[in-house]
Amino acid sequence: MARIVIGLVLVALLLIFQSVFVVAEWQQGLITQLGKPVRIVREPGLHVKLPVLQTFTRFDKRILITDAQAAEYLTLDKKRLAVDHVSRWRIRDPLEFYRTVRDERGAMARLDDIIFARLRQEIARHNFAEFIREKRVGIMQAVTAGTREMAAPFGIEVVDVRIKRADLPTEVQASVYARMRAERDRIAKRYRAEGEERARQIRASADKDREIIVAKAYEESQRLTGDGDAEAVATYARAFGQDPEFYGFLRRLETYEKIFAEGTTVILPADSDLLRYLQGPGAR
């Protein structure tokens, strides 16, 4: 009797371990019966399946990231670009996923194929400059939308595709550097020329100011000189005009004193007015 009980207990325990399984918060899975899909399990927690006959395959439920290798693309204006993208996706339908791509590695390979094709198509529709500048977000959205649609049959939901690096191929970089140098040279030349220009302006303006200031001062000083002369003339005229004959007499005497400097030779006629008494006391 005890034998049978113990045997039954052991069998029961074994069946429990075979049929009960735990799905973690970040997991989901698929129950298959002899290779045939039966049921999808999405909820985390304790779950039950038929022992032995059914097996449970786990898949990740989280958002997964694929960081692809960089590849070269041609833009509309025939420039080559090395683009490196990342895609984020999750397994939406474990059944389709299991049926079509089997596991994550298969999914990544498939996704990369799709994204490369979409990127090639989108990049080829835009010019290089557009791609770098304003169209990057738009292109990423278009690629995401296209990829999402094409990946759906594989049970994959694409969250987004982002362009990480978009670089010029190494051999093109050298010519970019050369252009950058030329551009900087141009700016440097402009700065120096501008400096020269401003400096000349400032110097010329200073010279002009100086000439004007001096000329104005000359003008004013001449006017003052004239004023002084005029006033002096008027004063003289008023005073001397009262007796021009006497003025003439005095002024001549003064002039004689000035012009007969020391050593001047003077020839006096003996009969001149000054010397008239040399002839005798009663002369004239």
Partner 1 sequence: MARQHYGGEPFSTPDLQEGVEELRRRLGQAGQWLRGSRGVLVLGGLLLLWLASGLYIVGPGERGVVLLFGKLWSQAEPGLRYRLPRPIQTRQVVDTARIRRAEIGVRTSEGRGTPVPEESLMLTGDENIVDVQLFVQYLVHDPVKFLFRARDPETVLRASAEVALRGVVGQNTIDYTMTEGRVEVQERVKTYLQGLLDAYETGLHVTEARLLVVDPPRDVREAFHDVVRAWEDRERLIKEAEGYAEDVVPKARGEAAQMLQQAEAYKAQRVIRARGDAARFLKVRSEYDGAKAVTRERLYLESVERILPKTQKFVLQGNGNRDVLPFLPLRELVPAPTAERSQPPARSGAAR
Site for partner 1 in 36-95 (CB under 8 A): 43-46, 60-65, 67, 86, 88
39, 31 Cβ separation under 8 angstroms: yes
To partner 1, the closest distance from the beta carbon of 1 in angstroms equals: 11
Burial class (CB in 10 A: 0-12, 13-18, 19+), 115: buried
Hey, what amino acid is at 168?
L
Work out the number of other CB atoms within 10 angstroms of the CB of residue 41. Answer: 20
31's CB contacts (< 8 A; 6+ apart) are 37, 38, 39, 40, 41, 49, 54, 55, 56, 57
Helix (H, G, I), strand (E, B) or coil at 59: strand
Region of 1-9, 33-41, 114-122, 147-155 interacting with partner 1 (CB under 8 A): 1-9
Residue 16, both tokens: 């429990």
Distance CA(162)–CA(8), nearest Å, equals 58
Residues in the chain: 284
176's CB contacts (< 8 A; 6+ apart) are 168
Closest CB to partner 1 among residues 121, 260: 260
Closest CB to partner 1 among residues 3, 36: 3
Closest CB to partner 1 among residues 106, 169: 169
To partner 1, the closest distance from the beta carbon of 257 in angstroms equals: 6
- For 31, half-sphere exposure in the C-beta direction (CA atoms, 13 angstrom radius) is 19
117, 143 Cβ separation under 8 angstroms: no
- In the window 107-126, what residues touch partner 1 (CB under 8 A)? none
Closest CB to partner 1 among residues 33, 221: 221
Size of interface with partner 1, in residues (CB under 8 A) = 118
- In the window 131-160, what residues touch partner 1 (CB under 8 A)? 132-134, 136-137, 159-160
To partner 1, the closest distance from the beta carbon of 54 in angstroms equals: 16
Closest CB to partner 1 among residues 6, 109: 6
- For 211, half-sphere exposure in the C-beta direction (CA atoms, 13 angstrom radius) is 6
69, 99 Cβ separation under 8 angstroms: no
Closest CB to partner 1 among residues 78, 238: 238
- In the window 158-177, what residues touch partner 1 (CB under 8 A)? 159-160, 162-168, 173, 176-177
Region of 7-15, 33-41, 95-103, 147-155 interacting with partner 1 (CB under 8 A): 7-15
By the rule CB under 8 A, 19 interacts with partner 1: no
- In the window 222-261, what residues touch partner 1 (CB under 8 A)? 222-225, 227-229, 231-233, 235-236, 238-240, 242-243, 246-247, 249-250, 253-254, 256-257, 260-261
Among 128, 139, 154, 158, binds partner 1 (CB under 8 A): 128
Closest CB to partner 1 among residues 102, 165: 165
- In the window 187-226, what residues touch partner 1 (CB under 8 A)? 187-192, 194-196, 198-203, 205-207, 209-211, 213-214, 216-218, 220-225
Sign of torsion over alpha carbons 151, 156, 160, 161: negative
Burial class (CB in 10 A: 0-12, 13-18, 19+), 58: middle
The label of the residue with tokens 């501008």 reads 194
To partner 1, the closest distance from the beta carbon of 212 in angstroms equals: 8
